[in-house]
Structure 1
């Protein structure tokens, strides 16, 4: 009893030390980076030195930012994209666009994944505490998109009291709906396309959008209408669109302000950029031709290829980590055992999406990792914890006499484990490993949140370009089903082969 208490005390101390070390390290690094930026402002010189201005955006909000097919490749278009290109041109650098969910953009900016955000982003005093805002380059007016049969029922936000409303997370539309609509049942989503699908399926009574975006969806989607919101605070700072920069990046902000001032004087953004984006979007008739989705086959193929790359790399990483940490957890060395327990329980006790964002944004403060690499690492590390427990159960299922027999024949413990125990363990856990591989394949869709162009990401591009909501979802469901069926068939084939060998030897 005393030994178990002693071990438990050591485990708790080690776990607390581990958690506090990570927390203090990250907590110290983030403020240091922020202070360094404000103390010495080299933001403009740094951009010019690297020759690239990195812009973060969320391309699901036409006519501001959206994607269309161009010779089989997805390209970014929209009024905000044009503004970004114009600023880069004035600075004599190239523009690099990083796409991700709108709700991740400010995190990407604060962790220096992007140099600026142009994504129909509104100025708010709360946001201004953490970022530099440029001067306003456009005003915004928010309307509601509703189903056509409800257009006469709702005339302002007051008529939507006690109703279900959908709004994009992290937007001023979401904040206004939450604060001003009485007893609202508010549902936040990352994608505007998903909100429109929810609206058409009857899950929401209305979706607040800026007027140009609402116009675009109504023009290209049947059965929808637009009504005024009459939200309070639709003039002044609450309704202005600004570019966000790192806190303290004054020189880069000032350079952008010079471009914005000239554009505002010439009305370039409204008269030229927004108008050009509207023409580029096309019409519902053009986008929804009978064979339109077949024209997007390259998108699905590209997404499938990247999904397979992520899955294969993560499976290999998960298996390696699984074996290592399973053996560590079975070890009689209390230090190795405790490390394994902390790793397995911590990973299994936190959401995988949070882990992906932590690796990309959090560790990105220390090590600059591309989005694809971050996604593979996060999914592989997550899988490793589950595989470790599967392998541990498999090792425990092998009779202890097997190892004793190996040792009596002169084999070392390591060779006995490698040549005798592990092969039998893998045979026993083969079906469970198959289920884990299938789960990992499906979980690869989570990396779309950080801008990795796998199947889910490409599906959203097709949705935005064709204004088809459900059909692209159905297509990738079929693709995932085919892939998982192939994995299960392979696993089942080798399971039968293992059983046949075992029966023949018996």
Structure 2
């Protein structure tokens, strides 16, 4: 009997998986945006990963947090050509092409190189920038690592999906690659001796070296002519948008505006007061970033807990229902959610479902986190209900209580007492799990942590501050839950 139930659940999960795959395969072809469409909606949406100063990073402008940098200036030039407003959407670098494919954005300007592999999936503009490549190393190893030749057999950090990853593979085949999401992580790897160097563009290297006294840089001796260069990515068959971008790039090149844009970006990074501050004071001066991120994290957590519990109760009741079809479908759905990573679920809701319905990043994050929590809450509640002795139910029914009254007055109250510790652990875990929503550009605490890292060039201190904030929240919630648990025990 038990084996048949397992087979039924597995069949349900498999059927659900097939349905999801078929939905993705049969989704309508998303046509590339055209100049006319962009003009009609009055805005050009640019996707970028704002963790790469001076090209793109977050800064406070007139009291408002904005993405600024050289690439944003180039995006603004293209928007001006079209006579529309530029809208900048921030997300992780490795999510940008997915966002472009699902039409969440109209173009990608994020220091992206126009490789042959990428050209198979997207259209690129003409290159707008070719930069010298630099290795960033620890200053105490400068006497040993005097040239690129000395690094060829070392462990070298590169950003995932970046031009530097391709350069390292082709020009330094003996080097061992350590690919990470962003440059801040590469800096941390370097300082913690995980890598001997990391490879990046000269402007980025110089910016980090000028803000960290324990690192230095040296030339990678890579021929610029062999590099594809940095370009703007558009959806396939976006010829008119590419032509507009190329026209703007020609104007930028003819008037030598790149150096001007880099200098303007540097103004956001350099401030006399910041130079006089120590690392801790500098990072703490960005407390509004942490405060804003904390507010978003708590908002997502509170809403997700509410809907997670609500849906969890419904799922649990469906699981114990006598209707076999309802029971089987719910079981399959719950097991599918519990068997897939939350990060994938967030990306699926934002990019996958977003191909049919345009759901904002914050709402997508809340939906994914709520459903994920509901799957776990449902199993906790189901286990609590099943843990109540059957004799309690039989006694209540023998006293004349209806099935509904028995459940609400006898079974469920006892189940809540049994499951409260597990439910509390789920709530605490939920606070920490919301950190994943930053991958789609939701400005939660982790997103703001990365922003502070980019602006201050400090890797560890922002992490420490975020850890303390998370600890204070989870510890306070633990104490509150323990208080209610103690009251339940004395009832």
TM-score range, shorter chain: over 0.9
Hey, what does 1:19 align to over in structure 2? 17
Does the CA-based 8 Å contact 2:153-2:175 persist in structure 1?
yes
Tell me the residue number matched to 1:289. 277
2:420 corresponds, among 419, 422, 430, to: 430
Change (3 A) 1:235 1:95: same
Shift of 1:427: 0.8
- SS of 1:264 mapped into structure 2: helix
- Check 1:186–1:288 CA distance in 2 against 1; reply closer, same or farther (3 A cut): farther
Q: Is the 8 A contact 2:10 2:332 kept in 1?
A: no
Partner of 1:504: none
Structure 1 residue 95 corresponds to structure 2 residue 86: yes
Q: 3-state DSSP class of the match of 1:293?
A: helix
What is the CA distance between 1:178 and its match in structure 2? 3.8
State the SS of the aligned residue for 1:121. coil
2:207, 2:74 → 1: CA distance?
19
Alignment of 1:449 onto 2:439: yes
Alignment map for 1:401-440 (pairs within 5 Å): 401-440=391-430
Deviates more, 1:431-440 or 1:150-159: 150-159
Question: 2-side partners of 1:439 and 1:302: how far apart?
Answer: 21
Aligned to 1:492: 482
Q: Secondary structure at the match of 1:327?
A: helix
Is residue 2:123 matched to residue 1:125?
A: no
CA distance in 2: counterparts of 1:351 and 1:296, whole angstroms: 32
TM alignment of 1:203-282, pairs within 5 A = 203-231=194-222, 234-236=224-226, 238-269=227-258, 271-282=259-270
Shift of 1:307: 0.7
- Distance change >3 Å, CA 252–CA 477, structure 1 → 2: same
Q: Deviations over 1:391-449 (max 9, x none)?
A: 11111111112222333344432332233211111111111111111110011111111
Question: Aligned equivalents of 1:320 and 1:27: distance in 2?
Answer: 32
List per-residue Cα deviations over 1:88-142 (Å, max 9, x = no partner): 1121111111111111111111111111111111110110111110111111222
- Determine the C-alpha separation between the residues in 1 that align with 2:79 and 2:413: 58
Q: Cα offset for 1:16?
A: 3.1
Contact 2:47–2:110, Cα closer than 8 Å, also in 1: yes
Q: CA RMSD in A?
A: 2.0
Kept in 2, the 8 Å contact 1:158–1:182? The answer is: no
Aligned counterparts, 1:138-217, within 5 A: 138-155=129-146, 157-217=148-208
- Distance verdict in 2 for CA 1:284–1:163, change over 3 Å: farther
**Misfit runs of 4+, over 4 Å:** 4-13, 155-158
Question: What SS does the corresponding residue of 2:52 show, helix, strand or coil?
Answer: coil
d(CA) in 2 for partners of 1:284 and 1:349? 52
Does the 8 A contact of 1:60 with 1:191 survive in 2? yes
Structure 1 stretches lacking a partner, 5+ long: 502-506
Distance 2:66 2:357 in 1: 29
d(CA) in 1 for partners of 2:389 and 2:5?
A: 27
- Is the CA contact 2:49–2:110 (under 8 Å) kept in the aligned structure 1? yes
* 1:165-216 alpha-carbon deviations (Å, 9 max, x no partner): 2211111212332454345432222121121122112111111101111111
> For residues 250 and 341 of structure 1, do their structure 2 counterparts lie closer, same or farther at Cα, with a shift above 3 Å needed?
same
The whole-number CA distance in structure 1 between the counterparts of 2:484 and 2:384 is 17
Q: Tell me, yes or no, if the aligned pair for 2:152 and 2:172 is still in contact at 8 Å.
A: yes
State the 1:159 CA deviation: 2.8
Shift of 1:284: 8.7
Instruction: Report the TM-score when normalising by structure 1.
Output: 0.92
Q: 1:253/1:434 Cα in 2 relative to 1: closer, same or farther (>3 Å)?
A: same
Which is further off, 418-427 or 62-71? Answer: 62-71
* Shift in Å, 1:344: 2.1
User: Contact (CA 8 Å) 1:360, 1:371: kept in 2 or not?
Assistant: yes
Which of residues 322, 325, 334 is equivalent to 2:315?
A: 325
The superposition leaves residues 61-105 of structure 1 with CA deviations (integer Å, 9 ceiling, x where unpaired) of: 111111222344322221111111111112111111111111111
Asked whether the equivalents of residues 169 and 188 of structure 1 are also in contact (C-alpha less than 8 Å), the reply is yes
Q: CA deviation digits over 1:37-81, x for unaligned, max 9?
A: 4xxxx6111111111111111111111111222344322221111
What CA distance in whole angstroms lies between the structure 2 residues aligned with 1:193 and 1:431? 38
SS in 1 for 2:110: coil
C-alpha distance in 2 between matches for 1:176 and 1:410: 78
| Residues 332 and 384 of structure 1: CA distance in aligned 2, closer, same or farther (over 3 Å) | same
The TM-score, its normalising length taken from structure 2, stands at 0.94
Instruction: Go from structure 1 to structure 2 and tell me whether the alpha carbon gap of 1:491 and 1:234 turns closer, same or farther (over 3 Å shift).
Output: same
Alpha-carbon contact 1:287-1:467 (below 8 Å) kept: no
Q: Output one character per residue of 1:263-309: Cα deviation in whole Å (capped at 9) or x when no partner.
A: 1122222x321222223321697256143333212111111111110
